Chain A
Protein backbone atom coordinates (compact mmCIF):
# COMPACT_ATOMS: atom_id res chain seq x y z
CA UNK A 1 0.00 0.00 0.00
CA UNK A 2 1.34 3.38 -0.99
CA UNK A 3 1.38 5.79 1.93
CA UNK A 4 1.13 9.39 0.76
CA UNK A 5 1.25 12.81 2.43
CA UNK A 6 -2.53 12.91 2.86
CA UNK A 7 -2.39 9.75 4.99
CA UNK A 8 0.09 11.35 7.40
CA UNK A 9 -2.02 14.50 7.63
CA UNK A 10 -5.11 12.43 8.45
CA UNK A 11 -3.31 10.39 11.10
CA UNK A 12 -1.88 13.57 12.68
CA UNK A 13 -5.30 15.24 12.64
CA UNK A 14 -6.90 12.19 14.28
CA UNK A 15 -4.15 12.10 16.91
CA UNK A 16 -4.69 15.80 17.66
CA UNK A 17 -8.45 15.28 17.98
CA UNK A 18 -7.93 12.40 20.41
CA UNK A 19 -5.50 14.52 22.45
CA UNK A 20 -8.03 17.36 22.45
CA UNK A 21 -10.75 14.95 23.61
CA UNK A 22 -8.51 13.78 26.48
CA UNK A 23 -7.85 17.42 27.42
CA UNK A 24 -11.60 18.10 27.44
CA UNK A 25 -12.17 15.06 29.67
CA UNK A 26 -9.59 16.35 32.15
CA UNK A 27 -10.94 19.90 32.08
CA UNK A 28 -14.56 18.89 32.44
CA UNK A 29 -14.37 16.00 34.89
CA UNK A 30 -16.60 16.70 37.87
CA UNK A 31 -15.86 15.36 41.33
CA UNK A 32 -18.12 15.33 44.35
CA UNK A 33 -16.26 16.23 47.52
CA UNK A 34 -17.80 15.47 50.88
CA UNK A 35 -16.42 17.81 53.52
CA UNK A 36 -16.35 16.03 56.82
CA UNK A 37 -16.00 17.68 60.22
CA UNK A 38 -16.23 14.59 62.43
CA UNK A 39 -13.85 12.91 64.84
CA UNK A 40 -11.44 10.69 62.95
CA UNK A 41 -8.92 8.09 64.09
CA UNK A 42 -5.57 8.04 62.30
CA UNK A 43 -2.82 5.60 63.35
CA UNK A 44 -4.56 5.02 66.68
CA UNK A 45 -4.82 8.74 67.49
CA UNK A 46 -8.25 10.28 67.62
CA UNK A 47 -8.46 13.73 66.03
CA UNK A 48 -11.29 15.88 67.34
CA UNK A 49 -13.75 17.72 65.13
CA UNK A 50 -13.76 21.52 65.29
CA UNK A 51 -16.60 23.43 66.91
CA UNK A 52 -16.93 25.72 63.91
CA UNK A 53 -14.90 25.88 60.73
CA UNK A 54 -15.09 27.57 57.35
CA UNK A 55 -14.29 25.63 54.19
CA UNK A 56 -13.68 27.04 50.73
CA UNK A 57 -12.66 25.33 47.51
CA UNK A 58 -11.38 27.38 44.56
CA UNK A 59 -13.53 30.50 44.23
CA UNK A 60 -16.75 28.91 45.37
CA UNK A 61 -18.69 30.47 48.25
CA UNK A 62 -17.33 29.49 51.66
CA UNK A 63 -19.21 26.81 53.62
CA UNK A 64 -19.53 26.87 57.38
CA UNK A 65 -19.43 23.57 59.23
CA UNK A 66 -20.25 22.90 62.86
CA UNK A 67 -19.11 19.81 64.78
CA UNK A 68 -20.32 16.51 63.21
CA UNK A 69 -21.36 18.26 59.97
CA UNK A 70 -20.85 16.75 56.53
CA UNK A 71 -21.49 18.92 53.46
CA UNK A 72 -21.18 18.31 49.75
CA UNK A 73 -19.48 20.38 47.10
CA UNK A 74 -18.92 19.85 43.39
CA UNK A 75 -15.65 20.71 41.65
CA UNK A 76 -14.69 20.66 37.99
CA UNK A 77 -11.18 19.85 36.77
CA UNK A 78 -8.23 18.19 38.42
CA UNK A 79 -6.39 20.79 40.52
CA UNK A 80 -8.15 22.63 43.32
CA UNK A 81 -7.27 24.99 46.12
CA UNK A 82 -8.69 24.10 49.51
CA UNK A 83 -8.87 26.82 52.17
CA UNK A 84 -9.77 26.11 55.80
CA UNK A 85 -10.37 28.94 58.25
CA UNK A 86 -10.75 28.07 61.94
CA UNK A 87 -10.15 29.51 65.39
CA UNK A 88 -8.51 27.86 68.40
CA UNK A 89 -9.60 28.05 72.06
CA UNK A 90 -8.17 31.58 72.35
CA UNK A 91 -10.17 32.70 69.29
CA UNK A 92 -6.97 33.12 67.33
CA UNK A 93 -7.80 32.66 63.64
CA UNK A 94 -5.80 30.33 61.40
CA UNK A 95 -6.00 29.95 57.63
CA UNK A 96 -4.68 26.81 55.97
CA UNK A 97 -4.41 26.64 52.19
CA UNK A 98 -3.39 23.74 50.01
CA UNK A 99 -3.46 23.13 46.27
CA UNK A 100 -4.32 19.51 45.52
CA UNK A 101 -4.73 17.23 42.54
CA UNK A 102 -7.85 15.11 42.63
CA UNK A 103 -7.53 11.61 41.11
CA UNK A 104 -9.25 11.59 37.67
CA UNK A 105 -10.90 8.23 38.14
CA UNK A 106 -12.60 9.10 41.43
CA UNK A 107 -16.12 10.51 41.21
CA UNK A 108 -16.60 11.01 44.94
CA UNK A 109 -14.03 11.85 47.62
CA UNK A 110 -14.19 12.63 51.31
CA UNK A 111 -12.20 15.49 52.79
CA UNK A 112 -11.60 15.25 56.53
CA UNK A 113 -11.07 18.67 58.12
CA UNK A 114 -9.56 17.39 61.43
CA UNK A 115 -7.04 15.27 59.49
CA UNK A 116 -6.23 18.23 57.21
CA UNK A 117 -5.52 20.49 60.18
CA UNK A 118 -3.48 17.76 61.89
CA UNK A 119 -1.09 17.29 58.95
CA UNK A 120 -1.57 19.35 55.80
CA UNK A 121 1.07 17.36 53.91
CA UNK A 122 -0.46 13.94 54.56
CA UNK A 123 -2.94 14.04 51.66
CA UNK A 124 -3.73 10.31 51.80
CA UNK A 125 -5.19 10.69 55.28
CA UNK A 126 -7.54 13.60 54.63
CA UNK A 127 -8.58 13.15 51.00
CA UNK A 128 -9.85 9.65 50.35
CA UNK A 129 -12.11 8.08 47.74
CA UNK A 130 -15.64 7.60 49.01
CA UNK A 131 -17.87 4.78 47.80
CA UNK A 132 -21.53 4.81 48.75
CA UNK A 133 -22.43 1.52 50.39
CA UNK A 134 -25.33 -0.18 48.67
CA UNK A 135 -27.53 -2.92 50.08
CA UNK A 136 -27.90 -5.87 47.74
Chain B
Protein backbone atom coordinates (compact mmCIF):
# COMPACT_ATOMS: atom_id res chain seq x y z
CA UNK B 1 0.00 0.00 0.00
CA UNK B 2 1.00 3.60 -0.55
CA UNK B 3 2.76 5.42 2.27
CA UNK B 4 1.97 9.05 3.01
CA UNK B 5 2.42 11.31 6.00
CA UNK B 6 -0.16 12.07 8.64
CA UNK B 7 -0.27 15.64 7.33
CA UNK B 8 -0.91 14.47 3.79
CA UNK B 9 -3.58 12.10 5.06
CA UNK B 10 -5.45 14.98 6.70
CA UNK B 11 -5.17 17.06 3.55
CA UNK B 12 -6.27 14.19 1.34
CA UNK B 13 -9.30 13.51 3.51
CA UNK B 14 -10.39 17.13 3.16
CA UNK B 15 -9.64 17.41 -0.55
CA UNK B 16 -11.49 14.24 -1.44
CA UNK B 17 -14.50 15.30 0.58
CA UNK B 18 -14.49 18.78 -0.93
CA UNK B 19 -14.51 17.30 -4.42
CA UNK B 20 -17.55 15.23 -3.47
CA UNK B 21 -19.47 17.70 -1.37
CA UNK B 22 -19.84 21.35 -2.35
CA UNK B 23 -21.10 22.25 1.11
CA UNK B 24 -17.71 21.55 2.68
CA UNK B 25 -15.33 24.47 3.00
CA UNK B 26 -12.40 25.37 5.23
CA UNK B 27 -11.82 28.55 7.11
CA UNK B 28 -8.86 29.53 9.20
CA UNK B 29 -5.85 31.78 9.56
CA UNK B 30 -3.20 31.68 6.83
CA UNK B 31 -4.69 28.59 5.22
CA UNK B 32 -4.59 30.08 1.71
CA UNK B 33 -1.36 30.43 -0.30
CA UNK B 34 0.58 30.09 2.93
CA UNK B 35 -0.95 26.65 3.45
CA UNK B 36 -1.59 26.95 7.18
CA UNK B 37 0.90 27.18 10.01
CA UNK B 38 1.96 23.56 9.48
CA UNK B 39 1.27 23.33 5.76
CA UNK B 40 -1.78 21.08 6.04
CA UNK B 41 -3.84 23.04 3.50
CA UNK B 42 -0.95 23.75 1.14
CA UNK B 43 -2.08 23.57 -2.47
CA UNK B 44 -5.75 23.49 -1.57
CA UNK B 45 -6.56 27.10 -2.40
CA UNK B 46 -5.15 26.49 -5.87
CA UNK B 47 -7.60 23.63 -6.39
CA UNK B 48 -10.66 24.90 -4.55
CA UNK B 49 -10.33 28.67 -4.73
CA UNK B 50 -10.50 31.28 -2.03
CA UNK B 51 -14.22 30.88 -1.42
CA UNK B 52 -13.76 27.33 -0.18
CA UNK B 53 -10.32 27.68 1.37
CA UNK B 54 -11.06 30.84 3.18
CA UNK B 55 -8.39 32.92 4.85
CA UNK B 56 -9.79 34.66 7.89
CA UNK B 57 -8.88 37.64 10.01
CA UNK B 58 -7.07 36.74 13.25
CA UNK B 59 -10.32 36.33 15.04
CA UNK B 60 -10.84 32.91 16.63
CA UNK B 61 -14.18 33.70 18.16
CA UNK B 62 -15.44 34.85 14.78
CA UNK B 63 -13.94 31.84 13.02
CA UNK B 64 -15.89 29.57 15.35
CA UNK B 65 -19.02 31.72 15.34
CA UNK B 66 -18.98 32.00 11.57
CA UNK B 67 -18.52 28.26 11.19
CA UNK B 68 -21.49 27.67 13.49
CA UNK B 69 -23.61 30.11 11.54
CA UNK B 70 -22.64 28.54 8.22
CA UNK B 71 -23.26 25.05 9.61
CA UNK B 72 -26.73 26.05 10.78
CA UNK B 73 -27.63 27.01 7.22
CA UNK B 74 -26.59 23.61 5.90
CA UNK B 75 -22.92 24.17 5.07
CA UNK B 76 -20.35 21.74 6.47
CA UNK B 77 -17.45 23.91 7.55
CA UNK B 78 -14.05 22.74 8.66
CA UNK B 79 -12.34 25.34 10.77
CA UNK B 80 -8.65 25.27 11.41
CA UNK B 81 -7.46 26.90 14.59
CA UNK B 82 -3.77 27.56 14.09
CA UNK B 83 -2.78 26.15 17.49
CA UNK B 84 -5.12 24.26 19.76
CA UNK B 85 -4.22 26.65 22.57
CA UNK B 86 -6.35 29.24 20.75
CA UNK B 87 -9.46 27.24 21.44
CA UNK B 88 -9.52 29.30 24.63
CA UNK B 89 -10.31 32.40 22.56
CA UNK B 90 -13.24 30.71 20.86
CA UNK B 91 -14.46 28.93 23.96
CA UNK B 92 -17.87 30.61 24.20
CA UNK B 93 -18.74 29.70 20.64
CA UNK B 94 -17.60 26.10 21.10
CA UNK B 95 -18.91 25.41 24.59
CA UNK B 96 -21.99 27.60 24.91
CA UNK B 97 -23.03 27.57 21.27
CA UNK B 98 -21.88 24.71 19.03
CA UNK B 99 -22.17 22.04 21.70
CA UNK B 100 -25.64 23.07 22.84
CA UNK B 101 -27.63 24.21 19.84
CA UNK B 102 -28.96 20.84 18.74
CA UNK B 103 -30.10 20.11 22.26
CA UNK B 104 -31.62 23.53 22.87
CA UNK B 105 -33.45 23.41 19.54
CA UNK B 106 -34.97 20.05 20.33
CA UNK B 107 -33.11 18.46 17.44
CA UNK B 108 -34.28 21.06 14.94
CA UNK B 109 -31.00 22.66 14.04
CA UNK B 110 -27.60 21.10 13.88
CA UNK B 111 -23.99 22.15 13.74
CA UNK B 112 -22.11 19.77 11.45
CA UNK B 113 -18.66 21.27 11.76
CA UNK B 114 -15.17 19.96 12.33
CA UNK B 115 -12.72 21.99 14.34
CA UNK B 116 -9.23 20.86 13.33
CA UNK B 117 -6.37 22.01 15.41
CA UNK B 118 -2.74 21.07 16.09
CA UNK B 119 -1.96 20.24 19.69
CA UNK B 120 0.91 19.09 21.83
CA UNK B 121 4.48 19.94 22.69
CA UNK B 122 7.80 18.99 21.16
CA UNK B 123 8.28 21.83 18.68
CA UNK B 124 9.82 24.42 20.98
CA UNK B 125 6.70 26.52 20.79
CA UNK B 126 6.58 27.09 24.54
CA UNK B 127 3.84 27.76 27.04
CA UNK B 128 1.08 29.24 24.87
CA UNK B 129 1.46 27.11 21.72
CA UNK B 130 2.06 23.60 23.07
CA UNK B 131 -0.77 22.56 25.30
CA UNK B 132 -3.00 19.50 25.23
CA UNK B 133 -6.36 20.78 26.41
CA UNK B 134 -8.55 17.98 25.07
CA UNK B 135 -9.91 17.02 28.50
CA UNK B 136 -11.73 20.37 28.63
CA UNK B 137 -13.57 19.51 25.45
CA UNK B 138 -14.47 16.00 26.63
CA UNK B 139 -16.24 17.54 29.59
CA UNK B 140 -18.80 19.27 27.38
CA UNK B 141 -21.86 17.24 26.35
CA UNK B 142 -22.65 17.79 22.70
CA UNK B 143 -19.11 17.71 21.37
CA UNK B 144 -17.18 14.77 20.01
CA UNK B 145 -13.44 14.64 20.54
CA UNK B 146 -11.01 12.85 18.26
CA UNK B 147 -7.26 12.31 18.60
CA UNK B 148 -5.75 10.32 15.75
CA UNK B 149 -2.28 8.87 16.22
CA UNK B 150 -1.48 7.54 12.73
CA UNK B 151 -1.83 8.65 9.14
CA UNK B 152 -4.33 5.87 8.48
CA UNK B 153 -6.46 6.82 11.46
CA UNK B 154 -6.22 10.52 10.66
CA UNK B 155 -7.71 10.07 7.20
CA UNK B 156 -10.46 7.67 8.22
CA UNK B 157 -11.44 9.53 11.38
CA UNK B 158 -11.49 12.87 9.61
CA UNK B 159 -13.86 11.43 7.02
CA UNK B 160 -16.14 10.23 9.83
CA UNK B 161 -15.85 13.63 11.52
CA UNK B 162 -16.83 15.45 8.33
CA UNK B 163 -19.80 13.11 7.87
CA UNK B 164 -20.93 13.62 11.45
CA UNK B 165 -23.85 15.96 12.05
CA UNK B 166 -22.51 17.09 15.42
CA UNK B 167 -19.56 19.36 16.14
CA UNK B 168 -16.32 17.41 16.28
CA UNK B 169 -13.07 18.64 17.81
CA UNK B 170 -10.29 17.00 15.84
CA UNK B 171 -6.87 17.18 17.51
CA UNK B 172 -3.86 16.71 15.29
CA UNK B 173 -0.53 16.25 17.02
CA UNK B 174 2.19 18.50 15.62
CA UNK B 175 4.93 15.90 16.02
CA UNK B 176 2.85 13.35 14.13
CA UNK B 177 2.40 15.47 11.01
CA UNK B 178 5.58 14.09 9.44
CA UNK B 179 5.11 10.46 10.48
CA UNK B 180 4.34 8.10 7.62
CA UNK B 181 2.00 5.18 7.32
CA UNK B 182 0.07 3.04 4.86
CA UNK B 183 -3.00 4.91 3.72
CA UNK B 184 -5.47 3.76 1.06
CA UNK B 185 -6.02 6.26 -1.75
CA UNK B 186 -9.77 5.90 -1.79
CA UNK B 187 -12.04 7.48 0.84
CA UNK B 188 -12.80 5.40 3.92
CA UNK B 189 -14.34 6.06 7.29
CA UNK B 190 -13.32 4.92 10.77
CA UNK B 191 -16.34 5.14 13.09
CA UNK B 192 -16.03 7.60 15.95
CA UNK B 193 -16.08 5.60 19.17
CA UNK B 194 -14.04 2.63 18.02
CA UNK B 195 -10.71 2.05 19.76
CA UNK B 196 -7.82 0.33 18.04
CA UNK B 197 -5.50 -2.23 19.60
CA UNK B 198 -2.21 -1.04 18.17
CA UNK B 199 -0.29 -3.97 19.62
CA UNK B 200 -1.52 -7.13 21.26
CA UNK B 201 -0.03 -8.32 24.52
CA UNK B 202 -0.87 -10.29 27.63
CA UNK B 203 0.90 -8.83 30.68
CA UNK B 204 -0.18 -5.23 30.84
CA UNK B 205 -2.48 -2.83 28.97
CA UNK B 206 -1.30 0.62 28.07
CA UNK B 207 -4.06 2.99 27.02
CA UNK B 208 -2.32 5.83 25.23
CA UNK B 209 -3.48 8.78 23.11
CA UNK B 210 -1.98 10.71 20.18
CA UNK B 211 1.84 10.93 20.34
CA UNK B 212 1.88 8.71 23.42
CA UNK B 213 0.65 5.78 21.33
CA UNK B 214 4.02 5.82 19.58
CA UNK B 215 5.96 6.19 22.80
CA UNK B 216 3.99 3.32 24.29
CA UNK B 217 4.77 1.17 21.25
CA UNK B 218 8.47 1.99 21.60
CA UNK B 219 8.31 1.08 25.26
CA UNK B 220 6.57 -2.17 24.36
CA UNK B 221 9.44 -3.14 22.04
CA UNK B 222 11.95 -2.51 24.84
CA UNK B 223 9.88 -4.40 27.39
CA UNK B 224 9.46 -7.35 25.08
CA UNK B 225 13.22 -7.80 25.25
CA UNK B 226 12.75 -8.41 28.95
CA UNK B 227 9.95 -10.84 28.35
CA UNK B 228 7.12 -8.44 29.18
CA UNK B 229 4.19 -8.56 26.78
CA UNK B 230 2.44 -5.19 26.43
CA UNK B 231 -0.92 -4.49 24.82
CA UNK B 232 -1.32 -0.95 23.49
CA UNK B 233 -4.84 0.39 23.11
CA UNK B 234 -5.48 3.66 21.29
CA UNK B 235 -9.00 4.97 22.02
CA UNK B 236 -8.71 7.23 18.93
CA UNK B 237 -11.82 9.10 20.01
CA UNK B 238 -12.24 10.30 23.58
CA UNK B 239 -15.91 11.13 23.00
CA UNK B 240 -17.54 8.78 22.32
CA UNK B 241 -15.18 6.43 24.16
CA UNK B 242 -14.97 2.77 23.28
CA UNK B 243 -15.06 1.51 26.85
CA UNK B 244 -15.64 -2.07 25.76
CA UNK B 245 -12.28 -2.51 24.05
CA UNK B 246 -10.47 -1.00 27.03
CA UNK B 247 -12.35 -3.11 29.56
CA UNK B 248 -11.78 -6.31 27.59
CA UNK B 249 -8.08 -5.59 27.31
CA UNK B 250 -7.72 -4.98 31.04
CA UNK B 251 -9.65 -8.16 31.82
CA UNK B 252 -7.10 -9.99 29.71
CA UNK B 253 -3.93 -8.40 31.12
CA UNK B 254 -5.11 -7.47 34.64
CA UNK B 255 -2.92 -4.40 34.64
CA UNK B 256 -3.46 -0.89 33.34
CA UNK B 257 -1.17 2.03 32.59
CA UNK B 258 -2.78 5.13 31.13
CA UNK B 259 -0.58 7.67 29.41
CA UNK B 260 -1.27 11.01 27.79
CA UNK B 261 0.67 14.16 27.18
CA UNK B 262 -1.87 16.47 28.80
CA UNK B 263 -1.31 17.49 32.39
CA UNK B 264 -2.09 14.48 34.53
CA UNK B 265 -4.26 16.32 37.03
CA UNK B 266 -7.73 16.56 35.57
CA UNK B 267 -6.54 14.81 32.42
CA UNK B 268 -8.56 12.28 30.46
CA UNK B 269 -6.55 9.45 32.01
CA UNK B 270 -8.62 9.94 35.12
CA UNK B 271 -11.74 9.16 33.09
CA UNK B 272 -10.22 6.00 31.66
CA UNK B 273 -9.07 4.84 35.09
CA UNK B 274 -12.57 5.50 36.40
CA UNK B 275 -14.16 3.50 33.61
CA UNK B 276 -12.10 0.50 34.75
CA UNK B 277 -12.73 1.16 38.43
CA UNK B 278 -16.49 1.23 37.77
CA UNK B 279 -16.52 -1.84 35.53
CA UNK B 280 -16.25 -5.55 36.21
CA UNK B 281 -12.63 -5.30 34.97
CA UNK B 282 -11.88 -3.90 38.43
CA UNK B 283 -12.09 -7.42 39.85
CA UNK B 284 -9.45 -8.53 37.41
CA UNK B 285 -6.86 -5.96 38.44
CA UNK B 286 -3.67 -7.36 39.90
CA UNK B 287 -2.12 -3.97 40.58
CA UNK B 288 -3.25 -0.39 41.10
CA UNK B 289 -3.92 1.56 37.91
CA UNK B 290 -1.01 3.78 36.97
CA UNK B 291 -1.53 7.13 35.28
CA UNK B 292 1.14 9.06 33.42
CA UNK B 293 0.63 12.61 32.22
CA UNK B 294 2.29 15.97 31.88
CA UNK B 295 3.66 17.78 34.89
CA UNK B 296 1.40 20.48 36.28
CA UNK B 297 3.51 23.22 34.70
CA UNK B 298 3.29 25.20 31.46
CA UNK B 299 5.32 23.66 28.63
CA UNK B 300 8.87 25.05 28.89
CA UNK B 301 10.72 26.61 25.96
CA UNK B 302 14.03 24.93 26.78
CA UNK B 303 14.08 21.67 24.76
CA UNK B 304 15.38 19.50 27.60
CA UNK B 305 12.85 20.84 30.04
CA UNK B 306 10.14 20.59 27.41
CA UNK B 307 10.78 16.85 27.18
CA UNK B 308 10.94 16.52 30.94
CA UNK B 309 7.49 18.08 31.27
CA UNK B 310 5.71 15.25 29.46
CA UNK B 311 5.99 11.44 29.69
CA UNK B 312 8.82 9.85 27.70
CA UNK B 313 9.57 6.24 26.76
CA UNK B 314 11.66 5.51 29.90
CA UNK B 315 8.83 6.82 32.09
CA UNK B 316 6.42 4.40 30.44
CA UNK B 317 8.83 1.48 30.83
CA UNK B 318 9.25 2.30 34.50
CA UNK B 319 5.51 2.59 35.03
CA UNK B 320 4.86 -0.77 33.41
CA UNK B 321 7.50 -2.44 35.56
CA UNK B 322 6.14 -0.82 38.66
CA UNK B 323 2.68 -2.13 37.81
CA UNK B 324 4.07 -5.62 37.31
CA UNK B 325 5.88 -5.59 40.63
CA UNK B 326 3.16 -3.99 42.66
CA UNK B 327 0.46 -6.54 43.23
CA UNK B 328 -2.71 -5.58 45.01
CA UNK B 329 -2.26 -6.66 48.64
CA UNK B 330 -5.04 -9.24 48.76
CA UNK B 331 -3.52 -11.07 45.82
CA UNK B 332 0.02 -11.05 47.20
- The answer to whether A and B interact is no
Binding site for A on B (CB under 8 A): none
